[in-house]
Amino acid sequence: MTSKFMRILLAMAFVISVAALAQTGSAAAAPGAAAPASAPAVTATGTKVGTISMEQAIFATNEGRRDFEALQKKLEPKQTELKNQNDEIENLKKQLNAQQDKLNDDARANLVKQIESKQKQLDRALQDAREDAQNQQNEVAQRILQKLGPVLIKYAADNGFGVIIDTSQPWPQSPVVWWGEAVDVTKPVVDVYNAQSSVPAPATTGAAPKPAAPKTAGVTKPAATPTKPADQPK
């Protein structure tokens, strides 16, 4: 139960579903829906191919860092409450294991019933908290994405790009198997967004997410391997 609890708790902290955002964006672009007023009418004339992690870009903007940090603080009391509930259940389980030979049938049954009841309550609370956190995260991300999209389009047009591919998801969820750092535009697009935004960089010690290094998507390179992916044959 402890490992399950921690996985769900971690899932509450800044897990953005780009697929969910894309679905929301598609709904906004449905017939009859108004297009974002700031979206520039740009015709792609360039031939360069680039990549961007939209998920990473959202987190890396000053606005994203500020708003997600604020959301994290907002969620902390609920995380503490859920952890306390989980600790109470674990203590009851330890009590049952330690005393089950000394308890009579009625006392043992009552303790088991108490654990099961509290476990059901915690499971429901975890599910509700996870859904609420995800909804709030997606609201923040969607708001930033609506402003980031036009910035990306203009950047692509100004710099000769004909195609920019989202690499937020690893292969095989994404069709992109491999890309190199030279074609990744996550950081420059974020820099342009921040320059146009009135939001200053948050005064935190944590560094903003960095653009993805050249890699085979979805494959973790052992730390002891000295050869960089960029040096491998393409």
Where in the sequence is the domain holding 169, given as residue range(s)?
2-24+36-217
Q: Is pLDDT at 58 greater than 90 in this prediction?
A: yes
Contact present, 117 and 89 (Cβ < 8 Å): no
Residue 138 within any structural domain of the chain = yes
Give the tokens for residue 185. 């535009």
Report the C-alpha gap between 81 and 77 in whole angstroms.
6
Residue 223 within any structural domain of the chain = no
Strand partners, 51: 165, 184
Strands 178-179 and 215-216, by their bridges, are: antiparallel
Residue 134 within any structural domain of the chain = yes
Residue 206 within any structural domain of the chain = yes
CA neighbours closer than 13 Å in the CB half-sphere of residue 92: 20
Structural Rg of the chain based on CA atoms: 23
Residue 101 within any structural domain of the chain = yes
Residue 233 within any structural domain of the chain = no
Give the tokens for residue 151. 């910035």
Per-residue pLDDT of 18-32, as tens digits, reads 344 444 444 443 333
Q: List all residues 6 or more positions away from 68 whose beta carbon is below 8 Å from its beta carbon.
A: 14, 59, 137, 140
Predicted structure pTM score:
0.65
pLDDT computed for residue 42 by the predictor: 60
Residue 222 within any structural domain of the chain = no
Q: Is pLDDT at 11 greater than 50 in this prediction?
A: no
Report the C-alpha gap between 148 and 158 in whole angstroms.
15
pLDDT computed for residue 12 by the predictor: 38
How many domains does the chain contain in total? 1
Give the tokens for residue 206. 């944590």
Residue 86 within any structural domain of the chain = yes
Per-residue pLDDT of 130-183, as tens digits, reads 999 999 999 999 999 999 999 999 999 999 999 999 999 888 888 888 888 889
Report the C-alpha gap between 69 and 189 in whole angstroms.
21
Local structure of 206: helix, strand or coil = coil
Average pLDDT of span 86-109: 92
226: preceding bond cis by omega (within 30 degrees): no
Of the pLDDT bands very low, low, confident and very high (cuts 50, 70, 90), residue 15 is very low
